[in-house]
Structure 1
Amino acid sequence: MIDTGNKTRFPVAAPDGHIASVLLAFLTTAGLFYVNIMPALVSGLVEGLGFSKQAAGHVASANVYGAALGAFGSVFAIKHFHWRPTAITALLMLIGLDILSSTMTDSTILIGARFIHGSTGGFLVGIGFSVIARTRVPDRSFGMLLIVQYGLGGVGLMFLPKLVPLYGTQVLFYALIAFSLVTLLMVPFMGTYAPKPKTALSNDSGSEDKVYLKPLLMGLFAVFFFQAANMGLAAYVIELGKSYSLATSDISTTLGIANWIAVGGAALVYVVGIKFGRLLPLMGGMVVTVLGMLMFKLSASESMFFLANVITGITWAFLIPYLLGMCSAFDGHGRMAALSGFFSKMGLASGPFIAAQVVGEGNYDLIINLAVSGIVLCTLAAFLPARLLDEKETAQKAPDQGVLE
């Protein structure tokens, strides 16, 4: 639904409508879209520019470590800058940096350029997270974010690895430029999104600036472990498939289709929201994630490789909206959402970095074991904040439902 009763020259999407969710998803994806094509990026640097597996992993991790720095900076900037002009400036900078990156062939210089690019993109994602946190149901908006990321990421993973041998590594950066341009055109149609006056986890004093520190920290670390575990494995999934003698074309097709199927996980969050709370879907999803990761050990079978990608893709898209939405419940300005973005990017960067240190000439079993360990740590960290949030929201709903105390 479009709200035309505004004073701007553009029709503005209703702030909590489906169109607004799509627009916010593009805004929040633009700064970090390279993560969704990370396997293609790593493989493209190895094949297209002749980088070592370790150097390619370092380029990828530098990009996301920069994003973590930018996201951390956004936590403090959110209250002092208007989000719209800030987002436009960041998008223009991203386009310029991607153009420069497309001309670079030295790994050291590219690492520096991608770190700066990541810092800019991370700041933009932090702004996007803060805006999503101001919507009525952030979990749903995060679900739409994953739908867009997996849908378009699937396209990128299916076609970009096949295009690198034909057009060079530059095609990867051209894809990022195109996404930023499309997002830039969407910004004028987004609403104002003023800060919320009250949050689900306001403390007893009613102050929106104070939060429950222990569950917040546990929730943030749950995001970190989850993202590190998944991205550490995902960054090398193409090379893992090659180590089992699977053809690059078959691997890229598998990843593309698996990403599209994984959209179902994010769509389920968007439809269901928090009707069943957060604890139950989080705990169940973590168990399935571990099983899916262990299936990568059977990748000699192409069908098992496909199934492992589908399962971990679905659970990744299903669980991260709940984890981010859980952190978003801690304040009204969206600063905790931006802080969760920082922890998310630290995880997304640390996963490939750690994997790059241990991969050697193909130590993929160890990478899988480390990923499983990360999910176990995530499960332990997420339990308390998810349970607390469910209890608080149940208590708030009880008076409205006529429950006697």
Structure 2
Amino acid sequence: MTGNTTTSAGGLRKASPTGHIAPVLLAFLTTAGLFYVNIMPALVSGLVEGLGFSKSTAGYVASANVYGASLGALVAVFAIKHLRWKKAAMAALIGLILVDIASTVQTDGNILIAMRFLHGSIGGFLVGIGFSVIARTPAPDKTFGMLLVVQYGLGGVGLMTLPKLVPLYGTSVLFIGLMAFSLVTLAMLPFLASYPAKEKTVMEAERDGSGVYFKPLVLALLAVFFFQSANMGLAAYVIELGKHAGLTTDSISTTLGFANWISVAGAVFVYVIGLKNGRLKPLLLGLVVTLVGMFMFRFSENAMLFFIANVITGITWAFLIPYLLGMCAAFDGKGQMAALSGFFSKMGLASGPFVAALVIGESNYALLINLAIMGIVLCLVIAFMPARLLDQKAGKGPDTTPIPPQTAQEVTE
């Protein structure tokens, strides 16, 4: 199979799993279930400004959305082996659209928390499907990199525009934006190939009968959790942090939009270099740089330092999470561990805003920054062993797991 497309037996052109179009389509599919995370600051700020929610209540709404996603992702871990994943993805996308429609007319905080939990559960299930399919691609780390390119690129658009539209059109504009993304993804779904499970990975084969790799797998999953919780706990309140520091809403939203677009460079870098330098070196470098960026948020009253802090943490977030997720995906060929990493990722994304909502009070932003720094330090310590082990098995080179050839028969559902 060569090129970016291939033709199924029925004549429908599918994106070639070895081309450059398929990673983009898979990125949209996976992003659709969790796009609200990429506009989380706009969502939290929009609920505060548009509906008059307290900062804590807005944080709980955002947290409920991602805790629901954790539940959906966990279900996907066990269900993915038994699903016709394309039909399941289609049903999930339609479900997301329906819940977003209902959310546009809801103004009660408690009801909205329940509705967004339902939305998150459906979206998390969709992301679990997406993660498991990505794990079956020839280069999961690179595809995860493309996922971040899409998330940050479109997330930048959302962060630049949505906070300015909420005062004009109300909070419903946030959910309308999510609906539009789901509709676009629904139109892309038929052009994806079937992605059957891989043969056993090297790690999976060596583990048979011994369970020796259980500990590094758990550590890899925990590294994802702490990384996501630390980043999202701070990111969910970054607009409010900027306001507290004396910056204007227009200035903050523009800063976040440009910072997101610049941050795409981190994901592009992953897509280009893959595992040429292994996982350990880029993880160590990126996490140390993340600590520097988070510390700079202490000086957010300076608009330029606020911008630089957002750029640094954005680039490292987009650069590091593909490696962390790819590290988990390396432990099996069916995509179950990738789906499980999605569960831990969402638990982290939910726990960050939840803990932040508990400690934020009126303006405890210094404590919030300190907690985020502590989370990254934990990730740095925990990720070291599994990353080094995988590098040793791969010789610090590209993943050599054999990939079964794709055929025209395999693109049927």
TM-score for the superposition, normalised by structure 2: 0.94
Which runs of 5 or more structure 1 residues have no equivalent in the other structure?
Answer: 400-405
Which residue pairs with 2:238 in the alignment? 237
Among 102, 106, 109, the residue aligned to 1:107: 109
User: Matches of residues 6-405 of structure 1 in structure 2 within 5 Å?
Assistant: 6-204=8-206, 212-394=213-395
Q: Pick closer, same or farther for the CA change 1:239–1:3 going to 2, 3 Å.
A: same
Counterpart of 2:76, as a letter, is S
User: CA 1:292 to 1:205, structure 2 compared with 1: closer, same or farther past 3 Å?
Assistant: closer
How far 1:35 moved relative to its partner? Answer: 0.1
Cα distance in 1 for partners of 2:200, 2:191 equals 26
Alignment match, 1:403: none
SS at structure 2 position matched to 1:229: helix
Give the Cα separation in 2 of the matches to 1:359 and 1:291.
22
SS of the residue 2:292 aligns to = helix
- Residues 202-230 of structure 1, C-alpha deviations (whole Å, 9 max, x = no match): 233768x9671100000000000000000
Asked if structure 2 preserves the Cα contact closer than 8 Å seen for 1:202 and 1:211, the reply is: no
Contact 1:278/1:387 (<8 A) preserved: yes
Q: Distance in 2 between matches of 1:395 and 1:103?
A: 52
- Whichever residue aligns with residue 113 of structure 1, its letter is M
Identity between Structure 1 and Structure 2 (%): 68
Listed one character per residue, the Cα deviations across residues 256-295 of structure 1 (whole Å, up to 9, x for unaligned) are 0000000000000000000000000000100000000000
Task: Name the CA distance, whole Å, in 2 between partners of 1:11 and 1:397.
Answer: 29
* CA distance in 2 between partners of 1:89 and 1:290 (Å): 40
Aligned length: 398
- Measure the CA separation in 2 of the matches of 1:178 and 1:137: 29
The answer to whether the 8 A contact 2:4-2:20 is kept is no
* Contact 2:63 2:354 (C-alpha < 8 Å) held by counterparts: yes
Aligned partners of 1:203 and 1:210 also within 8 Å: no
Q: Are residues 211 and 13 of structure 1, via their aligned partners in 2, closer, same or farther at CA, if it must alter by over 3 Å?
A: farther
Give, in angstroms, the shift of residue 7 of structure 1: 2.0
Pairwise CA distance, 1:201: 1.1
User: Residue 403 of structure 2 corresponds to which residue in structure 1?
Assistant: none
The 1:105/1:384 distance shift into structure 2, 3 A limit, reads: same
Asked whether the 8 Å contact 2:92–2:126 carries over to 1, the reply is yes
What letter matches 1:287 in structure 2? V
Structure 2 vs 1, CA of residues 350 and 119 (structure 1 numbering), >3 Å: closer, same or farther?
A: same
Say whether the 8 Å CA contact 1:29–1:149 is kept in structure 2. yes
Amino acid at match of 1:55: T
Superposed CA RMSD in Å reads 1.6
Shift of 1:396: 8.9
In the other structure, the counterpart of 2:404 is: none
Q: Which residue identity is paired with 2:251?
A: D
CA distance in 2, matches of 1:323, 1:398: 15
1:110 and 1:8 mapped to 2: Cα distance?
44
For 1:10-47, what per-residue CA distance to the aligned partner results, in whole angstroms no more than 9, with x for missing partners? 31000121100000000000000000000000000000
SS of corresponding position for 2:138? coil
> Match of 1:204, SS?
helix
- Structure 1 match to 2:405: none
8 Å contact from structure 2 (residues 276, 398) kept in 1: no
SS of 1:216's equivalent in the other structure is: helix
1:148–1:210 distance in 2 versus 1, CA, 3 Å: farther
Whole-angstrom CA distance in 1 between matches of 2:82 and 2:399? 37
Letter in 1 for 2:99: L
Which residue in the other structure is 2:409 paired with? none
Equivalent pair of 1:126/1:339 in contact (CA under 8 Å) = yes
Unaligned ranges ≥5, structure 2: 401-413
Contact kept? 1:138, 1:325, Cα under 8 Å? yes
In the other structure, the counterpart of 2:411 is none
Which deviations, in whole Å up to 9, do the C-alpha atoms of 1:134-172 show, x marking residues without a partner? 001100000000000000000000000000000000000
Deviation of 1:2 (Å): 3.6
Indicate if the aligned counterparts of 2:275 and 2:397 stay in contact, CA closer than 8 A: no
> Aligned to 1:79, what secondary structure does the other structure show?
helix
Change over 3 Å in CA distance of 1:242–1:395 after alignment to 2: closer
In structure 2, do the counterparts of structure 1 residues 177 and 381 end up closer, same or farther at CA, with 3 Å as the change threshold? same
Q: Write out per-residue CA displacement over residues 167-213 of structure 1, whole angstroms, 9 at most, x where no aligned residue.
A: 00000000000000000000000001000012131233768x96711
- Given that 1:203 and 1:211 are in contact with CA atoms closer than 8 Å, whether structure 2 keeps it comes out as no
Aligned pair in 2 of structure 1 residues 122, 232: CA closer, same or farther (>3 Å)?
A: same
Segments of 4+ in structure 1 off by > 6 A?
395-399
* Native 8 Å contact 1:155 1:256 kept in 2: yes
CA distance in 2 between counterparts of 1:385 and 1:60 reads 31
Instruction: Give the C-alpha shift of residue 9 in structure 1.
Output: 4.9
Amino acid corresponding to residue 354 of structure 1 in structure 2: V
Aligned-residue offset at 1:4: 3.5
How many Å separate the matches in 1 of 2:135 and 2:245?
A: 43
